[in-house]
Amino acid sequence: MTDLLQVRGISKRFGGLQAVADVSFNLGEGEILGLIGPNGAGKTTLFNLVNGVFKSDAGTITFLGKDITGRSPDQVVHLGLARTHQIVRPLSGMSVLENVIVGACFGRENQSMREARATALEVLERVGLADRANSSARALTLAGKKRLEVARALAARPMLLLLDEVLAGLNPTEIGQMIALILSIRDGGVSVFMIEHVMQAIMNLSDRIVVLNLGRKIAEAPPAEVVKNADVVEAYLGFPDIVDKLRGAQ
Amino acid sequence: MSGILASMIDGLLIGSVYGLAAMGLSLIWGVMDVINLTHGAMIALGMFGMYLLFGASAANPYLLLIPVIAAGLVLGMIVYWLSVSWVIDRPQLMSLLSTFAVNMMVIGIGTAIWSTSPYNVNFSLPGITVGAYTFTGNHIAAAISAVVIALLLELFLYRTRAGKAIRAVADNRDAAELMGISSTQVLMVAFAIGIALAAASGALVSTLFPFTILSGASYQLKSFVVTVLAGLGKPFGALVAGVLLGLLEGAVSPFIAVSWIPLIEFGLFVVVLILFPRGIFGRATA
Amino acid sequence: MKRTSLIAFLLSLFFVAGGFAQTITLGFTVSRTGSLNVDSLEQYRGFELWRDTVNAAGGIKAGGKSYKVQFASYDDESNSKRVQQLYTRMILEDKADFLFSPYSSSLTATASIVTEQYEKIMLTTGAAEEKTYKLGNQHLYQMFAPATQYLTVALDALKAKDPKATVAFVYEDASFSVAVVTPAKAYAQQLGFNVVFTEAYAPNTTDFSAIIDKVIASKATVLLGGGHYADGSTLARQLYGHKVPLKMISLLVAPDSPQWAELGDAAVGVIVPSQWEPQSTFKAQYGPSGADFGKAYTAKYNAPPSYESAGGYASGLVLQHAIEQAGGIDTDKVAGALNSTDITTFYGRTKFSTVASEHGLQVGHAIVLAQWQKDKAGKLVKQVIWPLAGKSADLVYPIH
Amino acid sequence: MMLRRPLFWLILLLAAVFAWLPKHGNNVALREDLILVAVAIILTSNLNLMIGYTGYVNFGHIVFYGLGGYVGLYLMTVRSWHLIPAALTAGVAVSVLALLFGLGILRLRGAYFALATIGVLEAVQAFVSNFESWGRSTGMYVSFESYVPMGGPKHALWLTYFLIIGVMALSLMLSLGIRRSKFGLGLFAIREDEDAAIVLGVNATLYKAIIYSVSAFLPAVAGALMFFKNGMIDPSIAFEYMLSLEGIVMLMLGGQGTVAGSALGAGLYERLRSYLLTSPRLSAFHLVIAGALLLLVIRLAPGGLIGWLYRLVPRSREVIE
């Protein structure tokens, strides 16, 4: 398995807070890599560093063999690295279809409007939003908006997809559908790097899991090993129910 | 006494009035994140308020500041209700446009009443002469009044319950609500105080220079410059920045034509906005 | 006599009813509001008094017809943008036959573009700057003596009193004052004066402290400049408030207005270059005498006329004269009559240049100097001090 | 694609009517009314590119018009250029300048950007008021001789009028063209949520700078033409803050973000203003009316007249863009 993404020693400090400290890991082609950690561990910040929303204070990020450290998010998307947001950010004044067309137009393939429209319709079909294509993005339910996030990112035709808590707030049926979708995305040849709090899901989906605590990587291993890791358990001590879930997930 | 020193003292005196004007803008901006574009119109109304009161009573203008401020508070509540109360939770551009709309209406009505012709408040206090230079009594009294009003505001904000509530809301509106502070009332009071400060500064300006209903606009622009220099939501910082702006004007004017000063000011304004969007002298409370 | 007037009256009724009444429409804007309102209203009163006088006498008689004068006039708010819209409107919609200029060189320059584009005659008054006449206008006629003369006259007066004076020029950055000061500065140097300070201020300036501090630092003893009423009166007040030790102050336009007296002590001693003063004693070949004009004006407006008022009235007279000479209101014929005009009215001599490169420039009129002085009763009055031949009082120098 | 959009033909029709009506019957008064409407449409539709399409409120949009006028008049009077190349050069020069300004101030978002545009307007005005080559506060004047090669002032004014109508049509076409283009889509995405747009791959910095520069071009050309027609320019008429602000009212009134809205708002407001022009009392009231209109629009119909039409007749969205 070749490495799609290599992260080496990246750090981010906000004022007095070291949000991410010296984190390194690799992500292989076709892999689903999970990212977990207690609240405030720096997971979303790590995503923001990887896709260029924040500039890393140190270290390098290599994607597809290219150094993308310090590149802006739009440049990163063009290379094939797309993401979703933890807090959904639909372009509210536009229709669902237009939202996805934006993703396709400005994605890796830099499609024309005509191509983008076809791509968008295809992606909407895939995420199950085809019937809502012409409604306003604002009018979608939370589950719908999460799917829209995924659809926009997928429309960019990425090689790697960063999913930030796409399961949070969904009901069990919706979670099941989303998991199926994620698996189908991976089967379609797209690698996935995902943050998730729904432990059962991430333990089942991930090939490997990176665990962050207080900005530091404390573990990187297949799910079965992660739950046994003493540091991980300690990190989650303040959250006994999650420890249970971690255990229960196995 | 050297020309530069005299010029800087003149700058210091007028700068405190700029500072007072900017305090009103800064307070409103800091507390409710509204850039109040009625500011200039309110300054102009303060000028005409002083003109009318002085014309009617011939009382000491510095005593007349009290009714001007009182009227400013009432006016502030009306303007708040008209242009701000319903956009407070909408995007910032909405309050920008709604306060701008009210500004147009006030200027329009003011023009219908007073036209755009200049008016004077004919009042002068004896000045202080040092060597060849004389500092007029009106300038000195205006500067003192501005500083006194600023100190009173500071006392109000830090020593009274209402003032503390305003600061709490400015700091974090949601948290203040949780602590049982009614933010709607607090916002209205803060807005009214901001308008009263604008009116007071206008009233002081009217004792110094002739004015028209449009004169507020240039003080509004100066208030922007001062507020941006000071950082938002720092009323007392605004006074200091106003004085510094006046000193800057005084310090450069001996060396260049006065007509270049606006270029320096607005150039500085844009550059500071770009480089220090949170102000040179501090971070925003938000 | 009675019968003929009755017939005339009936005839006029008939013509009015039948739509044959002869009227001419004069269009112009007035700065009723804005920074030029004081000067502009005085000019308007001159127009108005002339119109009422002419109409009371049965109108302008030319080519066997009588023309009643009516005005189409709007407020330009001292704003040159409105001037163009309004002059266009007066020409196109109000069908004005002739135009008077708005007040001030800047507004007139703007209006003259419209009037020239539509080839309408415009008599300019309250507009002394010369540049406008050198842009190729063919229908513009200047009633005021050109700007060059304003301060050169003041410098002549100063030369006679104090050839060693040090001079500061502080003036409005506007068409008129720039046109006045530029040649005046050269002339001052030519006369051997030491010009120690020159600065133009923005037209809407209200705070002169910084400039005043510089004047003090320059150790100037004489200040020349100003612009119009709003800025000039403010400058004088602040010069007084800052107790600037000046021996002579000569400001443009503003001190000519009777309102200047409202400045009280700040008004004393200030000199104004003037197009006309009530004390002037020109022998009028045409129209009323200066005394009659002054009396009629004061009776109507309860204030003495300023030179803007006189210029306004004289514009009417000169146009009336030209229409009479042309025998009608045809633009080309009236233009011809104006080109050959050379008359003396109560306002002085009026003659327009017919040289192509400066067509319409005033070449007959001359500037006098007036100074605000306290009379024996302590009342502020304006006295003519220059030229010496026509003076009503001596120049008070230094002021204090 | 363009040819199948009804508004494309409507714009051509509008321009044809504007050009034909006053010329037929030589109605100069009508021409003078229509030229002001045309200029209002030019300014508003280009302002719409910033406010309506990109979501950036520009309080100082008039600076482009004024600078265009200055560059144009400078080339015509001092360098003796012909009107058309001078106007085009003015457009290009001002666009380049806007690009430079834009790269600086477009780092600011929301209200901070709006404030910076006021700063730019004031700073430019202060600079021009002191700039010797452009005549400082007294400005520049067109010599009447410059009308001679155009066959005298009458022909020159008609020529200017037709050029302005052309610029008006181009402005609306530009808005229409951008609206359904990929570029336009990127702008809309920025308007809705700039950070999300960037994450979706929109190069927001570049797009904003381009649209800021593009929105400067036609107003600058129009400025050169109009100040040639005016015969003079000075800082107070070139950089009239109020006009800049009224542009925002026109846009909000008609419906920001739509092509038809910018034209409709500009047309209605300009006619109202001309109607109120002649009396000082009423002309003061035009500010009151404008302010009240703006307040009502923000409160009741944030989409303006066109937005209101969309709500009434949802299908109209397809036709009236």
Question: How is chain C split into domains, by residue range?
Answer: 2-145+280-358, 149-274+367-390
CATH of domain A3-80+158-248: 3.40.50.300
Instruction: Give the bridge partners for C71, in sequence order.
Output: C26
Looking at the predicted structure, is the pLDDT value of residue B93 above 80?
Answer: no
Does residue B254 belong to the interface with chain C, where contact is any CB pair within 8 Å? yes
Residues of D near A (Cβ–Cβ under 8 Å) read: 180-182, 185-186, 188-189, 191-193, 195-205
Q: Do B112 and D285 touch (CB under 8 A)?
A: yes
Our CA-based measurement puts residue B128 at a distance from the nearest CA of chain C, in whole angstroms, of: 9
Give the residue from B273, B275, B278 with the most D CB atoms within 10 Å of its CB, the best one to mutate: B273
- The closest CB to that of D185, out of A53, A74, A105, belongs to A105
All residues of chain D having their beta carbon less than 8 Å from the beta carbon of residue B96 are 57, 111, 114
Please state the ipTM of this predicted complex.
0.86
Question: How is chain B split into domains, by residue range?
Answer: 2-275
Q: Quote the pLDDT of residue A184.
A: 92
Q: Do B133 and C213 touch (CB under 8 A)?
A: yes
Q: At what angle do helices D204-230 and D62-73 cross, to 10 degrees?
A: 50
Q: Do D182 and A116 touch (CB under 8 A)?
A: yes
- The closest CB to that of B259, out of C202, C217, C241, belongs to C202
Q: Do D284 and B94 touch (CB under 8 A)?
A: no
Residue owning tokens 């939501």: B233
Q: Which chains touch B (3 or more CB pairs under 8 A)?
A: C, D
Q: Quote the pLDDT of residue B178.
A: 80
Our CA-based measurement puts residue C332 at a distance from the nearest CA of chain B, in whole angstroms, of: 39
On whether residue D138 sits in a domain, the answer given is yes
CA trace torsion C215, C218, C221, C224 (10° rounding): -50
Asked if A99 contacts A152 with a C-beta cutoff of 8 angstroms, the reply is yes
Asked if C275 contacts C365 with a C-beta cutoff of 8 angstroms, the reply is yes
Residue B49 has a CB neighbour count (10 Å cut-off) of 24
Considering chain B, what is the average pLDDT of its residues?
89
All residues of chain C having their beta carbon less than 8 Å from the beta carbon of residue B133 are 213, 216, 242
Query: Which residue type sits at B66?
Result: I
Q: Which chains touch A (3 or more CB pairs under 8 A)?
A: D
Our CA-based measurement puts residue C376 at a distance from the nearest CA of chain B, in whole angstroms, of: 26
Between chain B and chain D, the number of residue pairs with CB atoms below 8 A apart is 127
Least CA distance to B105: which residue of chain D? D288
Q: Quote the pLDDT of residue D14.
A: 95
Tens digit of each residue's pLDDT (9 = 90 or more) over B115-131 = 888 899 988 899 899 88
Residue D232 phi/psi, 5-degree rounding, is -160, 165
Q: Quote the pLDDT of residue B283.
A: 45
Confidence tier at D150 by pLDDT (50, 70, 90) = confident
Does residue C196 belong to the interface with chain B, where contact is any CB pair within 8 Å? no
Q: Do D138 and C175 touch (CB under 8 A)?
A: yes
Least CA distance to D248: which residue of chain B? B97
Looking at the predicted structure, is the pLDDT value of residue B69 above 80?
Answer: yes
Confidence tier at D302 by pLDDT (50, 70, 90) = confident
Average pLDDT over residues B180-188: 86
Residues of D near C (Cβ–Cβ under 8 Å) read: 28-29, 32, 36, 129, 136-138, 141-145, 153-154, 157, 230-232, 234, 236-237, 240, 274, 277-280, 283
Q: Do C216 and B215 touch (CB under 8 A)?
A: no
Between chain C and chain D, the number of residue pairs with CB atoms below 8 A apart is 79
Residue ranges, chain C, pLDDT below 50: 1, 14-20
Q: Do C80 and D236 touch (CB under 8 A)?
A: yes
Least CA distance to A114: which residue of chain D? D182
Average pLDDT over residues B185-195: 93
Q: How would DSSP label each residue in B195-221?
A: HHHHHHHHHHHHTTS-B-TTTHHHHHH
Our CA-based measurement puts residue D310 at a distance from the nearest CA of chain A, in whole angstroms, of: 14
Which of B45, B116, B111, B47 is CA-nearest to residue B79? B45
On whether residue D310 sits in a domain, the answer given is no
Q: How would DSSP label each residue in B130-195?
A: ETTEEE-HHHHHHHHHHHHHHHHHHHHHHHSHHHHHHHHHHH-HHHHHHTT--HHHHHHHHHHHHH
Looking at the predicted structure, is the pLDDT value of residue A249 above 60?
Answer: no
- Structure tokens given for B28: 């409103």
Does residue B5 belong to the interface with chain C, where contact is any CB pair within 8 Å? no
Q: Quote the pLDDT of residue D80.
A: 87
Confidence tier at D27 by pLDDT (50, 70, 90) = confident
**Residue D188 structural domain:** 2-241
- To the nearest 5 percent, what fractions of chain B are helix, strand and coil? 75, 5, 25
Q: Do D202 and A72 touch (CB under 8 A)?
A: no
pLDDT exceeding 90 applies to what percent of chain B?
58
Give the Cα-Cα-Cα angle A159, A163, A165 (nearest 5 degrees).
170
Confidence tier at A168 by pLDDT (50, 70, 90) = confident
Of the listed ranges A80-94, A231-245, B215-229, the least confidently predicted one is A231-245
On whether residue D19 sits in a domain, the answer given is yes
Confidence tier at B285 by pLDDT (50, 70, 90) = very low
Q: Quote the pLDDT of residue B7.
A: 92
Give the residue from D295, D296, D297 with the most B CB atoms within 10 Å of its CB, the best one to mutate: D295
Q: Please tell me the total count of domains within chain D.
A: 1
CATH of domain C149-274+367-390: 3.40.50.2300
Report strand pairing: C60-62 vs C98-100.
unpaired
Q: Do D284 and B260 touch (CB under 8 A)?
A: no
pTM for this predicted structure: 0.89
Q: At what angle do helices B61-79 and B183-206 cross, to 10 degrees?
A: 140
Looking at the predicted structure, is the pLDDT value of residue D151 above 50?
Answer: yes
Does residue B140 belong to the interface with chain C, where contact is any CB pair within 8 Å? no
Give the Cα-Cα-Cα angle B265, B268, B270 (nearest 5 degrees).
110
Q: Do A74 and D201 touch (CB under 8 A)?
A: yes
On whether residue D272 sits in a domain, the answer given is no
Asked if C147 contacts C176 with a C-beta cutoff of 8 angstroms, the reply is yes
Give every strand in the sheet of C380-386, ordered side by side: C194-201, C166-172, C222-226, C248-252, C271-274, C368-374, C380-386
- CATH class given for the domain over B2-275: mainly alpha
Right CATH for C2-145+280-358 from 1.10.10.1800, 3.40.50.740, 3.40.50.2300, 1.10.10.10: 3.40.50.2300
All residues of chain C having their beta carbon less than 8 Å from the beta carbon of residue D232 are 80, 109-110, 113
Question: How is chain A split into domains, by residue range?
Answer: 3-80+158-248, 89-157
Tens digit of each residue's pLDDT (9 = 90 or more) over D174-222 = 999 999 899 999 999 999 999 999 999 999 999 999 999 999 999 999 9
On whether residue D131 sits in a domain, the answer given is yes
Measured on CA atoms in the order C279, C284, C287, C289, is the torsion positive or negative?
positive
Q: Where are the alpha helices (DSSP H) in chain C?
A: 2-18, 37-56, 80-92, 105-117, 148-161, 175-190, 209-218, 229-241, 290-301, 307-326, 331-339
Looking at the predicted structure, is the pLDDT value of residue B192 above 80?
Answer: yes
Does residue A106 belong to the interface with chain D, where contact is any CB pair within 8 Å? yes
Same fold, C2-145+280-358 and C149-274+367-390: yes
Q: Quote the pLDDT of residue C360.
A: 94
Q: Do B259 and D57 touch (CB under 8 A)?
A: no
All residues of chain D having their beta carbon less than 8 Å from the beta carbon of residue C231 are none
Q: Do D199 and A105 touch (CB under 8 A)?
A: no
Q: Do B97 and D294 touch (CB under 8 A)?
A: yes
Which of A86, A81, A87 is CA-nearest to residue A103? A81
Q: Which chains touch D (3 or more CB pairs under 8 A)?
A: A, B, C
